[in-house]
Amino acid sequence: MFIFTEIVDFHSGARVSDDDYSIIAESYIYSRIGDPEFRISDEVLLPILNFSRSLVEAGHGNFYDYSPSALNDLVMRLGAFKIEENVKSIQDLIKSALLLKRGSLHIVGPDLITFILALCDPTTKFTSHQLRSIEFVFECWGLSRLLNLLTVVRLPSADNEFRAFAQARLSRILDGTFPRSHENMVRSMLLNDVDARHVKPRSETYDRKLIAIYYHIHCAITKRNSRLLTDSIIDLFELDEYLIGFLNWDKIYSILDEHPNVNVRSTFLTMLMGLEEVRALYPDVGIAMGKGAFIADLTGLINRKAAPIGSLLTKFKSLPASAAETLTAALLERPIIERLASSVPNPRRWPSELPPVELDTR
């Protein structure tokens, strides 16, 4: 393969098959991402360009065609390798990369696949040198738009290193792919202002919806507007559940904590803050908003004059479909439903003692 020939000294007489080398190299790069001493020389990067172009052409892809959403650009380039053809979310993109890895790692090499998976992982941190290498590899494969999209995806919780990379790439992100209003939103998020006008995330491409919703979240955090923040996060969940992991939940919690009113939409956010993917990155939020906080919010929503669970499910219907389904599943988890049942008074005419029942033990 291409960019990690330094891990095997072929002059020593070692003989490694292409398949074995791909596995070694792929494991090596993923283990080294985040290591500030990890370097990839330009000499080993340059051969990727000619190879990638020839491989795309051999696979009947078009190096210059564009799909409506950058999510589909990987399929446009390498669809001949039988990867996911209907990419509608970051999770679909991850599936495509894994399918490509499973069936074509020995041909495509470990670099592009590993970089895609790393960018789709909210826990991964990059050095500036690694980000430049990633940029080069994506451009070699004709996937600059996909890199632009994944750069935007990571913006809400980006560290200083990644934000500097995004700012340096701003002119490429704003290359006329998006309407002027959306370009202004991206610029505002990178420059930490709120000058761009709001655009409702109507039925457009994934990319445009994502930018509009992210900008609304950015404005809500900047202006400490809890209602806009809550509504925008629910919109984001409806667009792509996986994106929840890329939000800065420390900032979100600090704003929601200032407005402790309980309703079905705020209860949904309480549930999100107790998810494992949020707790892993933001332990303080996980401690503050765990199962106890979720149960407390659910208890506050119960209509004491009606059937407890039925009243909750009725209120859940006011949420968008994905949010309502996820909140219902969380409610019906055994620890939640048991704690909730024990905290609700028995309905009227409920017998204080159940009549004895004789069990047939034969």
Count up the domains in the chain and report the number.
3
Q: Mean pLDDT throughout 28-54?
A: 53
3-class DSSP assignment, residue 240? coil
Average pLDDT value over all residues in the chain: 77
Higher pLDDT: 297 or 25? It is 297
Question: Would you place residue 272 in the very low, low, confident or very high pLDDT band (cuts 50, 70, 90)?
Answer: very high
Quick check: is 135 in a domain? Answer: yes
Q: Tell me, yes or no, whether 27 and 166 share the same domain.
A: yes
Q: Tell me, yes or no, whether 284 and 301 share the same domain.
A: yes
Read off the pLDDT of residues 7-33 as tens digits, 9 standing for 90 and up: 444 444 445 565 555 555 555 554 555
Q: Mean pLDDT throughout 68-78?
A: 72
Q: Tell me, yes or no, whether 156 and 238 share the same domain.
A: no
Q: Tell me, yes or no, whether 110 and 135 share the same domain.
A: yes
CB of 76 within 8 A of CB of 60? Answer: no
- Look at residue 114 in the predicted model and tell me its pLDDT: 87
Among candidate residues 147, 172, 197, the one where a domain is terminated: 172
Q: Tell me, yes or no, whether 161 and 186 share the same domain.
A: no
Q: Mean pLDDT throughout 291-320?
A: 80
Q: Tell me, yes or no, whether 92 and 189 share the same domain.
A: no
Q: Tell me, yes or no, whether 156 and 39 share the same domain.
A: yes
Q: Tell me, yes or no, whether 49 and 126 share the same domain.
A: yes
Among candidate residues 217, 247, 277, the one where a domain is terminated: 247
Question: Would you place residue 315 in the very low, low, confident or very high pLDDT band (cuts 50, 70, 90)?
Answer: confident
Quick check: is 351 in a domain? Answer: no
Read off the pLDDT of residues 157-174 as tens digits, 9 standing for 90 and up: 999 999 999 999 888 888
Q: Tell me, yes or no, whether 101 and 63 share the same domain.
A: yes
Question: Would you place residue 37 in the very low, low, confident or very high pLDDT band (cuts 50, 70, 90)?
Answer: low
CB of 59 within 8 A of CB of 78? Answer: yes
- Look at residue 224 in the predicted model and tell me its pLDDT: 93
- Domain of residue 219 covers 178-247
Q: Given a cut of 50, is residue 58 above it in pLDDT?
A: no
Q: Tell me, yes or no, whether 123 and 240 share the same domain.
A: no
Quick check: is 252 in a domain? Answer: no
Q: Given a cut of 60, is residue 296 above it in pLDDT?
A: yes
Q: What is the CA radius of gyration of the chain?
A: 25
Quick check: is 360 in a domain? Answer: no
Which region among 140-149, 187-196, 222-231 has the lowest average model confidence (pLDDT)?
Answer: 187-196
The residue type found at 100 is: L
Q: Given a cut of 70, is residue 98 above it in pLDDT?
A: yes
Question: Would you place residue 253 in the very low, low, confident or very high pLDDT band (cuts 50, 70, 90)?
Answer: very high
Quick check: is 84 in a domain? Answer: yes
Residues 6+ apart with CB under 8 A from 349: none
Q: Tell me, yes or no, whether 57 and 152 share the same domain.
A: yes
- The share of the chain scoring above pLDDT 70, in percent, equals 65
Q: Tell me, yes or no, whether 165 and 184 share the same domain.
A: no
Token pair for residue 87? Answer: 């990419």
Read off the pLDDT of residues 222-251 as tens digits, 9 standing for 90 and up: 999 999 999 999 999 999 999 999 999 999
Q: How far, in Å, are 102, 226, 253, 331 from residue 249 at the CA level?
A: 34, 13, 6, 22
Higher pLDDT: 243 or 332? It is 243
Quick check: is 78 in a domain? Answer: yes
Closest C-alpha to 98, from 88, 112, 89: 112
Q: Given a cut of 60, is residue 80 above it in pLDDT?
A: no
- Look at residue 83 in the predicted model and tell me its pLDDT: 61
